[in-house]
Amino acid sequence: MEFDFFSGVQAELLNASPRNKGKIGEQLRFIFDKLIESSGATRAVEVGAYEASFAKRFKRRHPDSNVIAYEANPNVFEHFKKEVTRTGVDYRHRCVGPENSQIEIAIPRDFRGIRRPANNQMASLMSNLHADDVDKVQVDCVRLDDDVLPSPEDVIALWVDVEGATSQVFGAAKKTLERTAALLVEVESRPIWEGQWLAADVDAFLRSCGFVALARDTQRVHQFNFIYANPRLVDLKPYVRLVSRYLAGTHVFAS
């Protein structure tokens, strides 16, 4: 089963109204939740968590499960830590990246001329191409494999929103990805961060790891989320019909 997301898909999704884009996002999360449930996921990991909405949702549905949410921006972490930890999520002030060490992250304070507060969602290991004013801070960095410590019995649901640093995260996550059944990742089709993997690069890497792309949405002109599934850990046959019905009429999914 293969889906083509890089031909006529972009134009059709971009022409959707803001209301329909919202519906598309809701449907994408619905498919992701269904994928997680059918995989029997035992753990959840959210990287670039901000308020940890995915981690909290998973914890509510699976109160006995191990759920970790990583947030690198110290301003964001301080703002949300009481709320998130109260839910039972293991909310960690750490950057996920290529090494276990202290590392510098950049927090854009403006973007394309628009001012941003210190607790914004754009902190990254990568340099932003459209920010002139940037706060640089040192934070603890961990390799995902070394911090999650996946076991051969784990079935992981993974959410990654790391502001262009996908290569940095996935490059140190081989064992975690091997035990990941369902993955949602934010990508861009045009660079926002210097040296970042674009959507096609992320797709090529994940396919080389055995993942199958199931669905995508559109958040902004060149930014969107992908759902990937690991056919070694979840049966994809039920999703052919579900995905085909999703966004019926937009021709997003071609088997």
Question: By the 8 A CB rule, do 93 and 139 touch?
Answer: yes
Structure tokens at 228: 């990937």
C-alpha–C-alpha distance, residues 242 and 255, integer Å? 12
- Say what the pLDDT of residue 19 is: 63
Structure tokens at 2: 């293969």
- Say what the pLDDT of residue 237 is: 78
- Say what the pLDDT of residue 216 is: 83
218 dihedral zone (left: phi>0; alpha: psi -120 to 50; beta): beta
C-alpha–C-alpha distance, residues 153 and 174, integer Å? 15
Question: Which residues are CB-contacts of 147 (< 8 A; sequence separation ≥ 6)?
Answer: 68, 92, 94, 96
- Say what the pLDDT of residue 1 is: 44
For 81-108, how does the pLDDT look when each residue is reduced to its tens digit (9 = 90+)? 999 999 999 999 999 999 999 999 999 9
Nearest Cα residue to 92 out of 160, 148, 164: 148
For 119-151, how does the pLDDT look when each residue is reduced to its tens digit (9 = 90+)? 999 999 999 999 999 999 999 999 999 999 999
Consecutive 10-residue averages of pLDDT for the chain (255 residues): 44 55 79 91 98 98 97 98 98 98 97 93 95 96 98 98 97 98 95 95 96 84 89 83 53 34
Based on C-alpha coordinates, what's the Rg of the chain? 18
Instruction: Please spell the DSSP secondary structure of 156-189, one letter per residue.
Output: EEEEE--TT-HHHHHTT-HHHHHTEEEEEEEEES
- Say what the pLDDT of residue 176 is: 98
- Say what the pLDDT of residue 15 is: 54
Residue 115 CA to chain centroid, in angstroms? 25
- Say what the pLDDT of residue 240 is: 60
| Global confidence as pTM | 0.89
- Say what the pLDDT of residue 20 is: 67
SS3 helix, strand, coil % of the chain, rounded to 5?
35, 25, 40
